[in-house]
Amino acid sequence: MAAQAQTIEVPTDAELLQAQADLWRHSLYYLSSMGLRCAVELEIPTAIHRLGGAVTLPDLMSALSLPSAKMPFLRRVMCVLVTSGIFAADSDSGSEVIYRLTPLSRILVHGVVADEHHSQKYFVLGVTSPHYTEAAMGLAGWFKKDHEPPVPSPFEDIFGVPLCDDRTPLLDKELDDVVTQGLAAHDNLGIATVMRECHDLFKGLDSLTDCGGGDGTTARAIIKAYPHIKCTVLDLPKVVDKAPTDGVVTYVAGDLFHSVPSAQAVMLKLVLHFWSDEDCVKILAQCKKAIPSREEGGKIIIIEIVVGPSLGPIMFEAQLLMDMLMMVNSKGRQRDENEWSKLFTKAGFTDYKIVKKLGARCVIEVYP
Ligand SMILES: C[S@@+](CC[C@H](N)C(=O)[O-])C[C@H]1O[C@@H](n2cnc3c(N)ncnc32)[C@H](O)[C@@H]1O
C-alpha cells in the first residue's frame, strides 16, 4: 500500500476563495432543483403566461393567492431562479422588478400545446420527487454492496422494484403516474424540430415501424408531414390498449425483444438508453430482422443522446447528468459515439451515420 501523504498542496488565496464558492454552489445545487420544483408546484410559469408574460412580484403573489407575508421569501427564490436562467427579470432603477418567461420556463407553462409538445411540468416533478432523490442519496451505500449480477439500480435496491415497471404502481401509484406523464412529455418534446430539421430522414420511405413508439405521437407527426408513409407502432399491450383507434397509425401490441413488425425502416426513439448493452444488442438484432437490405433502403433510425464534449460544457454536463439519472434509476445508460458504434457492430450492422445533432441528442441512421 502506498504511504499516506502527510502534506497537501496549499491553494493560493485566490484559489481557496474560488474553491469555497464552488463548494457552496456544488453542494447546494439541490436547492436550485427544489426552487425549480417549487416554481412548478406553484404553477409560476403558467401564472406569468396568463398574466401576459410579464409580472411584478405583487401581481404574481396575488395570481398565486399566496399570503402577503411570503412575498419577501418568494422574491429570494425568484432571484435564484432568474440567476439559473429559469425566469428573466428586468427593472428600471427604483421601480418594481418585472419577471418574464425564458425559453426554459415557457416549456413549463401548463395547459397549452406549443409546437406539438406539452408542458414539462411532470418531468420536473418526477426527477425531483422524494423517490428519485432518496435513490440518489443511497448511491454510496449501493457502491459498497457486493451485488450478484444482474446488479439492480440504486432505485431498485432501495425500493425493491424497478422504475417504469408493472410493479412500480404497487410501490407508489402517484409516483408511477407522475413518471409516466413526465416521460411522455419529455419524449415528445422536440418532435416538430426533428420534422423540420431532418427532411432526408423520411424521404423515400414507404413504411416505418416506430419500435417502443408509445401512444403514437411521433408516428402521427411523421404521417402528418409524409402522408404516404405507412406507420406502425410497436409497444407493450398495456400501452397499445390505450392508443387511439382512429386508424391513422397501425398499433401492434408485442415485445421488442421477440419480434418487430417489418418495414423499410425501424425507428428507436429514446428507447435504447433504458436498456443494458446486452439488451440493446438483442433489440437491435430484432430490428435488423424487420428491415430489408441497405440497397433496398433498409435502415434503423435512432434518436438518442450521443455523449461528448463537442457541443460545449453546458450540453455535455446535461448529457452526463442524464446518464447519471439512468444509472440511479434504471439499468440503462447514455452512450458516447464509440459505445454506440460497438453496439451496432455486435448486433450485425455494417455501418452508421450521425445525420443530425439536435441539441443534446443526435439522429443516427444504422445500416444492415
Ligand atoms: C421512453 S419511452 C419512448 C417512447 C417513444 N419512442 C417516444 O420517443 O416518445 C419507451 C417505450 O418503450 C416501450 N417498451 C418498453 N418495453 C417494451 C417492450 N419489451 N416491447 C415493446 N415496447 C416496450 C414503453 O412502453 C415505452 O412506450
Q: Does residue 188 have its Cβ closer than 6 Å to ligand 1?
A: yes
Report the CATH number that the domain containing residue 295 is assigned in CATH: 3.40.50.150
- Domain-embedded: residue 230: yes
- Domain-embedded: residue 207: yes
Which long-range contacts does 103-107 make (Cβ < 8 Å, 24+ apart)? 105/39, 105/44, 105/45, 105/48, 106/45, 106/49, 107/189
Residue 255: CA atoms inside 13 Å, Cβ hemisphere, count? 4
Strands (E), 227-320: 230-235, 250-253, 265-269, 299-307
Helix H or strand E encompassing 87:
strand 87-90
Q: Does residue 213 have its Cβ closer than 6 Å to ligand 1?
A: yes
277: pLDDT strictly greater than 90: yes
Q: Does residue 215 have its Cβ closer than 6 Å to ligand 1?
A: no
Same domain? For 152 and 208 the reply is: no
Q: Does residue 361 have its Cβ closer than 6 Å to ligand 1?
A: no
Calpha distance 243→229 (Å, rounded): 19
118: pLDDT strictly greater than 80: no
Give the pLDDT band of residue 188 (cuts 50, 70, 90): confident
Mean pLDDT of the chain: 94
What's the sign of the alpha-carbon dihedral 250, 252, 257, 259? Answer: negative
Same domain? For 162 and 268 the reply is: no
Give, using CA atoms, the residue closest to atom 9 of ligand 1.
187
Tell me the CA distances in angstroms from 363 to 9, 199, 266, 352, one per residue in order: 46, 12, 13, 11
Question: Cell match 390498449: residue?
Answer: 241
- Domain-embedded: residue 257: yes
Torsion of CA 112, 115, 117, 121, to 10 degrees: -50
The rounded Å distance from CA 239 to ligand 1 centre is 9
Q: How many helices (H) and strands (E) does the chain have?
A: 18, 11
Hey, which of 120, 217, 235 would you mutate to test ligand 1's pocket, going by the most ligand atoms within 8 Å of its Cβ?
A: 235
Count of CB atoms situated within 10 Å of the CB of 181: 17
For the annotated catalytic residues, the residue numbers are 273
Rounded to an integer, the average pLDDT of 145-151 is: 93
Give the pLDDT band of residue 74 (cuts 50, 70, 90): very high
Q: Does residue 214 have its Cβ closer than 6 Å to ligand 1?
A: yes
Among 185, 212, 232, where does a domain finish? Answer: 185
1: pLDDT strictly greater than 60: no
Same domain? For 102 and 146 the reply is: no
The per-residue pLDDT for 93 is 66
Give the pLDDT band of residue 360 (cuts 50, 70, 90): very high
Q: Does residue 190 have its Cβ closer than 6 Å to ligand 1?
A: no
- Domain-embedded: residue 235: yes
298: pLDDT strictly greater than 90: yes
Give, using CA atoms, the residue closest to atom 18 of ligand 1.
255
Same domain? For 152 and 297 the reply is: no
- Domain-embedded: residue 275: yes
Same domain? For 205 and 333 the reply is: yes
Same domain? For 82 and 168 the reply is: no
Give the pLDDT band of residue 281 (cuts 50, 70, 90): very high
Lowest mean pLDDT among 103-112, 228-237, 276-285, 301-310: 103-112
The per-residue pLDDT for 3 is 65
Cα–Cα–Cα angle for 300, 341, 285, nearest 5°?
45
Q: Which atom of ligand 1 is nearest to the CA of 256?
A: 20
Same domain? For 170 and 206 the reply is: no
Report the CATH number that the domain containing residue 70 is assigned in CATH: 1.10.10.10
Domain count, the chain: 3
Rounded to an integer, the average pLDDT of 89-107 is: 89
Same domain? For 171 and 304 the reply is: no
The per-residue pLDDT for 265 is 97
Hey, which of 232, 266, 271, 302 would you mutate to test ligand 1's pocket, going by the most ligand atoms within 8 Å of its Cβ?
A: 271
Residue 251 bridge partners (DSSP): 233
Q: Does residue 117 have its Cβ closer than 6 Å to ligand 1?
A: no
Q: Does residue 235 have its Cβ closer than 6 Å to ligand 1?
A: yes
Among 111, 132, 155, where does a domain finish? Answer: 111
The per-residue pLDDT for 287 is 98
The rounded Å distance from CA 301 to ligand 1 centre is 15
Domain that includes residue 136, residue range: 123-185
The rounded Å distance from CA 365 to ligand 1 centre is 19
Q: What are phi and psi of 132, to 5 degrees?
A: -65, -45
Same domain? For 323 and 263 the reply is: yes
All cell numbers assigned to 347: 448486433
The rounded Å distance from CA 84 to ligand 1 centre is 32
Rounded to an integer, the average pLDDT of 183-190 is: 86
The rounded Å distance from CA 231 to ligand 1 centre is 16
**Burial class of residue 128 (count of CB atoms within 10 Å of its CB; 0-12, 13-18, 19+):** middle
Same domain? For 236 and 276 the reply is: yes
The per-residue pLDDT for 117 is 65
Among 170, 185, 200, where does a domain finish? Answer: 185
**Burial class of residue 21 (count of CB atoms within 10 Å of its CB; 0-12, 13-18, 19+):** exposed
Give, using CA atoms, the residue closest to atom 15 of ligand 1.
212
The rounded Å distance from CA 213 to ligand 1 centre is 6
Count of CB atoms situated within 10 Å of the CB of 166: 11
Same domain? For 205 and 348 the reply is: yes
Q: Does residue 183 have its Cβ closer than 6 Å to ligand 1?
A: yes
For 261, residues 6+ apart whose C-beta sits below 8 A from its C-beta are 209, 232, 234, 252, 254, 290
Q: Does residue 260 have its Cβ closer than 6 Å to ligand 1?
A: no
The rounded Å distance from CA 335 to ligand 1 centre is 18
